[in-house]
Amino acid sequence: MSVRKGSRMSKPLGDFEKLILFALLRLGEEAYGAAIQREIAARTGRDVAIGAVYTALHRLQKHGFITARMGEPTPERGGRRKKFYSLEPVGARALDEAYEMLRRMAEGTNARLEALTETGDA
């Protein structure tokens, strides 16, 4: 992932939105609400309400960061269709910029952070 010097996101991503976009990136074609919720829970240990997932998905879709498509009806879902989500290039760029900004801020801080967490001293 890389960021061009001088580039800036038009709309900064919140922490939860970043988790949603990373889940979409990991899940690929199989990214739907419940799968996204499970992916976040499995990787972060956070218990996430499905309503929060759908609220964030709607917000990300409104900003053009993701798109949605309806899958085919399935017998195991009683003939209902799943709504699948895909990361769009603008969303990938926003995630890339957010990731790079955090990486640059964290660069070189591991030793200090470990020392503080082990001893509790400054």
pLDDT tens digits, one per residue of 71-107: 988 888 788 889 999 999 999 999 999 999 999 999 9
Contact criterion met (CB below 8 Å) for 84 and 29: yes
Domain boundaries, the chain: 15-119
CATH class, domain 15-119, is: mainly alpha
Spell 4-21 as b/e; 16+ CB within 10 A means b: eeeeeeeeebeebbbbbb
Mind listing the pLDDT tens digit for each residue in 17-30? 999 999 999 999 99
Identity at 61, one-letter amino acid code: Q
